[in-house]
Amino acid sequence: KEAKLWGGRFEEGVTDAVERFTESISFDKALYKHDIRGSKAHASMLAKQGLITDEDRDSIHDGLTEIQRRIENGEFEWRTDREDVHMNIEAALTDLIGEAAKKLHTARSRNDQVLTDFRLWCRDAIDAILVQIKHLQVSLVRLAIKNEGLIVPGYTHLQRAQPVLLQHLLLAFVEQLERDAGRLLDCKERLNFCPLGACALAGTGLPIDRFMTSAALGFTAPMRNSIDAVSDRDFVLEFLSANSITAIHLSRLGEEWVLWASEEFGFITPSDAVSTGSSIMPQKKNPDPMELVRGKSARVVGDLVTLLMLCKGLPLAYNRDLQEDKEPVFDSVKTILGMLEVSAEFAQNITFNKERIQKALPAGHLDATTLADYLVNKGVPFRTSHDIVGRAVAVCVSKSCQLQELSLDELRSINPVFDKDVYEFLGVENAVKKFRSYGSTGSECVATQLDHWVTKLGLT
């Protein structure tokens, strides 16, 4: 067996079970690119500070480039007995270039190294998620543009409430996604500080330049406190919190579309490309992708909870427990990327059943609140107009008709303030036209919203 990189004080090796239990190479090899990038920056700094020679630096750089090539061509052997990505790469570098490689870990610990890698990895992951968020926003805005003028029932308590433009409803999701993106950007800004040079926990007596490595790796600045630098995991807690909120938003979008695709609603028809069938019921066409978007939100939240529990009560500074921080983050990122991608594809693959929606609109007295506003315009106090319209609705319920089908005499018998202009307020089409407050579902307000997103997302 090969001696461990840390083996000096040990007389015997670990048991196989311990080796299998403590390894992280099976998952942290995902950090290889960032590990190599960090090591190259570190070697450059060591050379600049006179801690290694320029020749050592060059051979470390060339060796690391070769290792990256081997990894990417599937020619690299990841070894469990070398524990993790950091020691696999360092040991392979030693095999490749010899003595110079043994100087790479000068003024560095795996504790600051792993966090440098992980922060770099998270930064890239956030950028990838931001691209997918925008992609979904674009898909939703395009869907809105395609369905201009379509009125749908708006719900509260899942009961019919007021008529709204479909565009308005779709743009509500676009707004949520914009805040999701904002949370990720905030998180990225806060995590973009460099732990490298914090070493094990206390820093080093060697003359390193942490500002140089920080800048080379695109960080804002080195972290101020070396103990904090190797202990902190709140950057991933924040990242997974942001992902969890996005996931919850997507689960609500998923639920909306699953509901709308049901026979009972029948508002949308997803294309075959985003539907799946049943192994027993030949007629079935299910919106499984959006059900799984709803379902996978559980994983993303679970990943956050795993990390929260992992960090609870840990003493300063590094503890091996923290090796468990990677898999929930990898899982959260992979899952949220899939959820965003599939939601966008679903948005591109649904048609709204205009006739069906049209037929459904008269039910539920969606214009009742607009009628109450009509009475307010006539000088009736709102509480009184609410009561008057409530009585008109009761008449409709007993006659199984709509408000617009009541005659002027019938309306006047409830309250004489009704006039023939009342019919301009009744029916969903009229009702929608009356909305005019900022942010409302009135067509001009919605057009303004849509313009905002078309410009912001660069669509024309």
157 in active site: yes
Please report how close the Cβ of residue 84 comes to ligand ARG at its closest, in angstroms: 4
Please report how close the Cβ of residue 118 comes to ligand ARG at its closest, in angstroms: 8
Q: How many CB atoms lie within 10 A of CB 448?
A: 12
Q: Of the two residues 22 and 220, which places its CB atom closer to ligand ARG in the complex?
A: 22
Interface residues toward ligand ARG, by CB under 6 A: 24, 28, 84, 110-111, 114, 318, 320, 322-323
Residue tagged active-site, from 157, 279, 400, 407: 157
Q: Of the two residues 161 and 200, which places its CB atom closer to ligand ARG in the complex?
A: 200
Q: Of the two residues 320 and 420, which places its CB atom closer to ligand ARG in the complex?
A: 320
Q: Of the two residues 6 and 382, which places its CB atom closer to ligand ARG in the complex?
A: 6
278 in active site: yes
Please report how close the Cβ of residue 191 comes to ligand ARG at its closest, in angstroms: 17
Please report how close the Cβ of residue 33 comes to ligand ARG at its closest, in angstroms: 16
Residue tagged active-site, from 26, 262, 271, 278: 278
Please report how close the Cβ of residue 72 comes to ligand ARG at its closest, in angstroms: 22
Q: Which residues are designated catalytic?
A: 157, 278
